[in-house]
Amino acid sequence: MREITYAEAAIEAIGEEMEKDDKIFYMGEDVGRFGGSYGTTKGLWERFGDDRVKDTPMSEAAIVGYGLGAAITGMRPVVEIMFVDLLCLAMDQIVNQVAKIHYMFGGKAKVPLVIRVPFGGLRRAAGQHSQHLEAWFLHTPGLKIVVPSDPYHVKGLLKTAIRENNPVMCLEHILLYQIRGGVPEGDYTLPIGKAQIKREGKDVTVVSYSLMLHRCLSVAEKLHKQGIEVEVIDLGSLHPLDMETVVASVKKTNRVAIVHQACLTGGVGAEVGIRITEAAFDYLDAPVKRIAARDVPVPFSPVLEDFVVPTEERIEGEIKGML
Amino acid sequence: MKLDKQLLLDMYGRMLRIRKFELKVEELHLRGILPGLKHLYIGEEAVAVGVTFNLREDDYIGSTHRGHGHLIAKGGDVKIIMAELYGKKTGYCKGKGGSMHIADINIGILGANGIVAANIPIVGGAALSAKLRGTDQVAVSFFGDGGANEGMFHEGVNLASVWKLPAIFICENNQYAISTSQSKATAIPNIADRAKSYGIPGFTVDGMDVLAVYEITGEAVARAREGKGPTLVECKTYRFKGHYVGEGSRELSYRSREELKKCQEKCPIQKFKWTLTKEGILTEGLAEKINRQIDKELEEAIKFAEESPYPSPEDALEDLFFEEET
Ligand SMILES: Cc1ncc(C[n+]2csc(CCOP(=O)(O)OP(=O)(O)O)c2C)c(N)n1
Ligand SMILES: [Mg+2]
């Protein structure tokens, strides 16, 4: 299979869908001729023009609100917010409007809206440009959330998201945009809410997503050389959560850690962890472990950020401590 | 306007210090020495200097992601700013904030800010506080043409107007928000025209002319101190470098080489230097002396930053909450 970057795979998904359906349009800050701050839309403006690839003023609440208004009146917008941190400025639209309209209207309005959100720390960008806020959206019924970890998944999941008649947030770690991976040419979709077993193992299950998944896979390889077999699961979606895959794995390995770059308290790990205890308590030989960023804003200095975010060494040490 | 010679020379020196500081930052970043994101103020020095030279040390400013110029203009210590950019323990934020969060509450710098337009309501709050405490302090918000399209601009300016707060809103219109030109983002040519809708005075001024900025904001500051409420001042300026250090040739997707060249010819520092020379206030010898003095200061700042220790990793866990001393 040919290899392309994560950013290219995402653009391919959007471009192919836009070719097929002229109800789809794209909007956000600097997504037009500039091609997106991280190249998230490179080449789309040249293909589809101003009407379908729209640069907006700096107005995050309007970006999401306009997306919602267009979605419930017959269009299929894909909107982009430059960093998840900036979604804070659009929280009313997302939490009070986008997530609830279908339900509050008694099922009478469809919301085919995709919100694409680059995010992620380890870029030395400090407290307001490094956050991992995904758990907030997990705590907001009515939103589907995907967190693709590689080029193959971002293409397949974005296509599904664009065809969905429900709001989907696609959280894309900025440090993944340049990674390369095999991606089929042409059309394929991947289901939202399906986790992937990335590596099989019998000793312990490690559940992760997005950038941290890559750290977990690298740790699994190191532990393999030490005779420890780690089963690594990529959640792929945070809502719905594919607990079936996770629980089946835990029943096999009897030990589980959840690893994420978001801070510990109230994070995805807490939700996944409690669901594991509810479904497989009798199978657990050790308490469910969460390996997460420390509970502080993300600091700037590399020495500080590397202490806050789980490193491979920390993940490795914590996993060994469970055995 | 008849101004004191020393004041004029100080303004010139301050602008040059900002310029040279930013050039150093660019160089250190491109050499891989400074981590993180940096947005340079080069080309816009006349705005920060023209505005802050009307302020007292106890007045407040709220700054932006493009904040180094504001901080230096308000009296921030280049050594401590530099140490912060290096991520060192001796920096303004002990390495926790970096370029976009530098603050010095003691001299009224309420922080650079990574969220565009977020300082507008915060500055409004500082102005409210000054009024409630019965002082004659004023508070200045700097924000860009892009920032003026955020809801926080509208909410912040409107409230300051209704409550007649001692605030000055300085729109640094450098004509772009990253790649988006102002003409694509607003249907009016002058952002200051919005002042009318808030019932406050609004002025558009040449932001490449430090004396013009100084004069207009001087009036705005005086009005604020006298309890007559806020003013919106739009300074037309231009950013000479990419949106952030490392943007490279991507800027050519939204502005042409010709445009860049034409605008760079209006360098605010060169322009001011000519004026001062023509008036006989600045001589070549004096200019050289100021230049050397700044070079020395910057060398010392870099030396200080380089020799300073990094924080220890566990320091990351400190400062989450204010702890009462026991
Ligand atoms: C609320 C918000 N939206 C988007 C961004 C991303 N961003 C950072 S700077 C910038 C452009 C700012 O333009 P302007 O306000 O004109 O200031 P300038 O950079 O030109 O000084 C953008 C879009 C941000 N930091 N905050
Ligand atoms: Mg601007």
B101·A61 Cβ contact <8 A: no
Average pLDDT score over residue span A298-320? 98
- B233 in a structural domain: yes
**Percentage with pLDDT > 90 across chain A:** 100
Question: Exposure pattern of B134-173 as b/e (b: 16+ CB <10 Å)?
Answer: eeebbbbbbbbbbbbbbbbbbebbbbbbeeebbbbbbbbb
Task: Determine whether the interchain pair A304/B87 forms a contact, defined as Cβ–Cβ distance below 8 Å.
Answer: yes
| Residue B320 covered by a domain | no
Inform me whether the pLDDT recorded for B2 exceeds 90.
no
Q: How far away is chain A from the Cα of B157, in angstroms, using its nearest Cα?
A: 16
- In percent, the amount of chain B with pLDDT more than 90 equals 97
Residue closest via CA to ligand 1's atom 11 equals B177
**For residue B236, which ligand has an atom nearest its CA?**
2
Site to probe by mutation for ligand 1, drawn from A31, A55, A56, A58 as the one with most ligand atoms within 8 Å of Cβ, is A58
For chain B, what percent of residues have pLDDT higher than 70? 100
Residue B242 has pLDDT above 70, yes or no: yes
CA distances from B121 to A172, B102, B165 (A): 31, 18, 12
- Residue B286 in domain: yes
Give the CATH number, domain containing residue B106.
3.40.50.970
pLDDT computed for residue A170 by the predictor: 98
Q: What is the mean pLDDT of residues B1-20?
A: 94
User: Alpha-carbon distance A76 to A62, whole Å?
Assistant: 16
Instruction: Indicate if the pLDDT at residue B1 is higher than 90.
Output: no
The answer as to whether B318 is a domain residue is no
Average pLDDT over residues B194-216: 98
Q: Is the pLDDT of residue B174 over 90?
A: yes
Structure confidence at residue B311 (pLDDT): 98
Q: Pairing mode, if any, of strands A237-239 and A144-146?
A: antiparallel
Average pLDDT over residues A78-90: 98
Residue-wise pLDDT tens digits, B112-152: 999 999 999 999 999 999 999 999 999 999 999 999 999 99
Residue B326, in any domain of the structure: no
Residues lining ligand 1, Cβ inside 6 A = A 29, 58, 60, 82, 86, 89; B 65-66, 114-116, 143-147, 150, 174, 176-178, 239, 243
Asked if residue B183 is part of any domain, the answer here is yes
Interface of B with A in 11-40 (CB under 8 A): 35-37
Assess if residue B78 is contained within a domain: yes
Report the mean per-residue pLDDT for chain A: 98
The answer on pLDDT for A79 being more than 70 is: yes
pTM equals 0.97
Asked if the model's pLDDT at residue B99 lies above 80, the reply is yes
pLDDT tens-digit readout, B28-71: 999 999 999 999 999 999 999 999 999 999 999 999 999 999 99
Chains A, B: CB pairs < 8 Å: 134
Mean pLDDT over each residue of chain B, to the nearest integer: 97
| Residue B314 counted as domain residue | no
Q: What is the predicted ipTM?
A: 0.96
Tokens describing residue A137:
């959206």
> What pLDDT sits at residue A209?
98
For residue B142, which ligand has an atom nearest its CA? 1
B326 has pLDDT over 80? no
Over residues A261-288, mean pLDDT = 98
Structural domain including B123 reads 5-309
Q: How many domains does chain B have?
A: 1
What are the tens digits of pLDDT across the range B265-282?
Answer: 999 999 999 999 999 999
Q: What is the pLDDT of residue A33?
A: 95
Average pLDDT of span A259-285: 98
Residue to test with chain B: of A304, A305, A309, A311, most B Cβ within 10 A: A304
Is the pLDDT confidence value at B325 over 90? no
